[in-house]
Amino acid sequence: MQREEENVVKIAEFLTGNSWIVYVFIFVGKMIEVALASLRSQLIHKGQRVYGGIVALFEYTFWITITASAISGFRDDLLKVVILILAFSCGNIVGSFIEEKLALGYSTLTGFFTNEKEANLAAETLRQRGHALTILPSLGMDNKQRFTMITSIMRKDVHAIIKTLNDVVPEAVIVVSQSQPSKQPSKFAIKK
């Protein structure tokens, strides 16, 4: 127990120092903390609460060790505050980049086709790859009959599906929006 207290005191003494190593440590630590906060927020928003809670443990550990310790001596060293602010900004960018690469959650893909043949060709292509979808007749701006295809997909599959649809029906208009299922996806909604 005494050894742990000594380690905490050493960390606090290190962070209250003003060498360039301290500034780098504060910047990197704060950036990681904010990136984790951004990721945690996205996980919880997308319904993955357990993973969000696990990320929160690491996030708060960084917050306690970096931010709280660095702020304790900010009156004596305003550069630490500037570094915290810059790291906060960079951390948001890094966190959103990580979340984008992980492609968590689901998207709704809507395709608009000028005729039934194109819509059926696109639908058959996606169905052969295991995707469930719905095709609806619709009216275009000129009151001509069009066809709308709607499917829910995992975000990690969005780019591949758009490429497939563009290869099959280049004239189609594709719109992707983020979505969150109101209940667990079934075999009728989303390919796993």
Give per-residue pLDDT as tens, 109-124.
999 999 999 999 999 9
Say whether both 7 and 53 belong to one domain. yes
Token pair listed for 24: 């780098």
Q: Which domain holds residue 136?
A: 106-179
pLDDT per residue as tens digits for the range 129-185 = 888 999 999 988 888 889 999 998 888 889 999 999 999 999 999 999 887 666 655
The pLDDT value given to residue 190: 47
Query: Encoding tokens for residue 162?
Result: 């758009």
Pairwise pLDDT comparison (17 vs 43), residue with the higher score: 43
Residue 161: per-residue pLDDT: 92
Q: Using the 8-state DSSP alphabet, how is residue 64 labeled?
A: I
Tokens of 45: 């928003």
Residue 114 lies in a domain: yes
Instruction: Report whether 131 contacts 153 (CB < 8 A).
Output: yes
- Taking alpha carbons only, the member of 156, 52, 174, 165 closest to residue 106 is 156
Q: Do 110 and 131 belong together in one domain?
A: yes
Number of domains forming the structure of the chain:
2
> Does residue 16 register a pLDDT over 80?
no
- Is pLDDT above 70 for 81? yes
Query: What does the buried/exposed string (b/e) look like for 25-57 if buried means 16 or more CB atoms within 10 Å of the residue's CB?
Result: bbbebbbbbbbbbbbbbbbbebebeeebeebbe
Question: Under DSSP, is residue 40 helix (H, G, I), strand (E, B) or coil?
Answer: helix
**Position 178, amino acid:** Q
Asked if residue 177 lies in contact with residue 127, where contact means CB atoms within 8 angstroms, the answer is no
pLDDT of residue 95: 87
127: domain CATH number is 3.30.70.120
Domain final residue, candidates 54, 70, 102:
102
